[in-house]
Structure 1
Amino acid sequence: MFILLSALVCTVACGGGGFAASTKASATPSGTIAGTATNFLQTFSAGIAHASGNYGFTNENYLIEGAERIQQLGSKSIFVYLTPTFRSTYPDRKSASWPATDPTNVADLVQAAPYAHVLGLPFQTIVLTAYTFATHDQVAGFASSGREQAEENEFYNLAIYLFHHYEGTGKTFVLKNWEGDWIGLQGSRDASRNISDSMINDMRAWLSARQRGVTRARQDAGNPTTVNVFNAVEVNRVLDFAQNGLARVINTVVPAVASDMVTYSSYDSTLQGTDPGSMQAAMTLALNTIKQFAPDPLGLGDKRILISEFGLYENERQKETIWRTQTLLSTAKSAGLSGAFMWNVFDNECHENNGQPAPIDTAQGDPMRPSDGECRGLWAIRPDGSTSSVVSVLQKYW
């Protein structure tokens, strides 16, 4: 699980009572699938994420190293970060691949050599947690900040570049925020709290600006049929609303924004239960809730929903890793979703002997490099170079 920029991860159920708690999605799509590359509607993407892992194996730029490792495993789908903190998320080590001067917007950043290399690899679905240089992750106060047009313009320029540069490739790009409910709760661990009315308004304004940028770019690009660029709102505490009626992004923000897609960081349901049946029940409740509240402006049907994160903590749940992965993927595919992405190719929740978090991308031979036993097990590739058994489950969906 990734901690974005200055955000704090809440590890317990958070929430409390009711701003627009019963706002539902329109039952009638307001768009069309005419401009959608058809391979997206016909496939289920089982992918792997890459961000801020605590170890690496080469002197290559870390973004490129992780992406190439995911490709070597056989996945046709990848999830990476596109944010102003690109240098710390993906260190250069000895390759000097990043530009000497920081870009000033995400459209320029996505054209930097490491991103151009990764997006040029034969991945068909590319999920990007994208944050602008105009706003970074400063969502609180956004509605009155005067930054809406700048946010919209950055997303427009990013999307129009992707539409034009990758036209004809059949690739699908999904642009999304980090886990929306943690943003809304502002790092709170108080399970009795709602997302506040002011944060709901800020998130609606922020996410709507991003959506306007992508919608305008799609129209100006002529609704291409050989590349997809979708904007998504990400939710991560769906069961807080479904089970307890708390104000969360799914019921207060998603219906108002009417984004192309909804992505779901799924730890709240996929770590529930003690067997496949009880886990599937929790997951199905969450997915049905998303379907209920998520508009469908492009007529994508259930493909408008994608599980952007699941993670199994192999070192802590050794007997659960395989059956939970099998249950998650089979449930997601049966529900008609567009895909599910495992966190992470290299574990980003390792620690040193003194208990402190391990640095990003420690080299082999570095005394600060974590051992397998010093990680939680959010990995496809372990620090010793071996491959997690969960990859064999993913491979059945490639």
Structure 2
Amino acid sequence: YSFASFILTRYNNSGKTFFIGNWEGDWLLIPNYDRTVTPSPESIANMTKWFQIRQRAIDDAKRASNAQNVNLYHYIEANLVLKGMNGEPCVARSVLPNVDVDFVSYSSYEAIKDKTYAQKKTELEGIFNYLEAQLRPKAGLPFARRVFIGEYGYQANASVPQSFQKQYDETKEIMRISFELNLPFALHWQMYNNEYENGVSKQMSLINESGAKTRQYTLHNSFYKAMNTYLKDEMKKNNRYPTTDQYRTKAIQVLGTL
């Protein structure tokens, strides 16, 4: 409550939007990153209470605040949603329906590895539809959908040069799918490399361990430059920004040129 109140007060009339959330919640329920483990009822109950308290604190702080032109939302991130779709206990199936949360983030690796473009799109579409079905209705939220990709990315191997092209192409695929599914966000892992075990890099970052900008950086930079130019041109021409659907259509077109 105090943190949410501080944000609303400190950034009053700033035009900023803040999201408070966790990282890969299913790993909090099970030990040692072992996805075969079934979380205990006690762990699920405690996580549910913790998220309920956090959401209530944020909602209470927003109601008590007189701040304007600043937004604050709470999300829960899940990473083993397929377990829930198979009827197994997990964040998506066991926690989400019992929390009045604003948004749901999905760390998407289980759905995007070793698949074709069509398979990834089908998998992600099913997962996001499932996640939305777990949510309680809630008024006063932006965006058409309350679900987003909180983490995606692909590895490459410095000793296998062709792996970087595959990484580049698959990254573009997730960007395209995110627009096709009308997701408000898709967050790439990662900006700077923090995985360098035994001197071996997974090559997932936009800026690598040597401080060099990668092709992934160039991809995102080129995309944002093109889209910002589009926004400025539309405002100049029509005295308004494009609709969400117009923006999505243009984004997919731009991705096809990169």
CA distance in 2, matches of 1:188, 1:381: 27
SS in structure 1 at match of 2:77:
strand
CA distance in 2, matches of 1:281, 1:343: 22
Q: Which residue of 2 aligns with 1:346?
A: 192
Question: Offset of 1:272 from its aligned partner?
Answer: 4.3
CA distance in 1, matches of 2:89, 2:114: 21
- Cα distance change, pair 347–185 in 1 and its aligned pair in 2 (3 A): same
Q: Which residue of 2 aligns with 1:281?
A: 122
Pair 1:329-2:175 in alignment: yes
CA distance in 1, matches of 2:139, 2:183: 15
Q: What's the C-alpha RMSD, in Å, of the aligned pairs?
A: 2.0
The structure whose RCO (Cα within 8 Å, separation 6+) is larger is 1
CA displacement, residues 213-255 of structure 1 (integer Å, 9 cap, x when unaligned): 1001000114x5511111111111112222x221111111011
Conservation of the 8 A alpha-carbon contact between 1:230 and 1:260: yes
Question: Offset of 1:264 from its aligned partner?
Answer: 1.3
- Which residue of 92, 99, 115 maps to 1:257? 99
Q: Which residue of 2 aligns with 1:157?
A: 2
Q: Which residue of 2 aligns with 1:187?
A: 32
Q: Calculate the TM-score normalised by the size of structure 1.
A: 0.52
CA displacement, residues 229-287 of structure 1 (integer Å, 9 cap, x when unaligned): 11111111112222x221111111011012111111111112241x2112222222221
SS in structure 2 at match of 1:253:
helix
Q: Which residue of 2 aligns with 1:238?
A: 81
- Cα distance change, pair 188–310 in 1 and its aligned pair in 2 (3 A): closer
SS in structure 1 at match of 2:194:
coil
Q: Which residue of 2 aligns with 1:386?
A: 212
CA displacement, residues 316-337 of structure 1 (integer Å, 9 cap, x when unaligned): 8534212221121122222222
CA distance in 2, matches of 1:198, 1:308: 26
Q: Which residue of 1 aligns with 2:54?
A: 210
CA distance in 2, matches of 1:313, 1:198: 36
Q: Which residue of 1 aligns with 2:136?
A: 295
Q: Calculate the TM-score normalised by the size of structure 2.
A: 0.78
CA displacement, residues 329-360 of structure 1 (integer Å, 9 cap, x when unaligned): 122222222211111111111123xxxxxxxx
- Cα distance change, pair 328–190 in 1 and its aligned pair in 2 (3 A): closer
AA in 1 matched with 2:109:
Y
CA distance in 2, matches of 1:351, 1:302: 40
Identical counterparts, % of pairs: 26
Conservation of the 8 A alpha-carbon contact between 1:380 and 1:391: yes
Matches within 5 A, 1:3-42: none
- Cα distance change, pair 215–338 in 1 and its aligned pair in 2 (3 A): same
CA distance in 2, matches of 1:215, 1:299: 11
SS in structure 1 at match of 2:219:
helix
CA distance in 1, matches of 2:3, 2:70: 14
CA distance in 1, matches of 2:203, 2:171: 14
Tell me the number of residue pairs that the alignment of Structure 1 and Structure 2 aligns.
Answer: 219
Matches within 5 A, 1:137-152: none
CA displacement, residues 67-87 of structure 1 (integer Å, 9 cap, x when unaligned): xxxxxxxxxxxxxxxxxxxxx
AA in 1 matched with 2:170:
R
Question: Offset of 1:206 from its aligned partner?
Answer: 0.6
Is the helix fraction higher in 1 or 2? Answer: 2
CA distance in 2, matches of 1:346, 1:188: 23
CA distance in 1, matches of 2:172, 2:118: 12
CA distance in 1, matches of 2:215, 2:89: 38
SS in structure 1 at match of 2:204:
coil
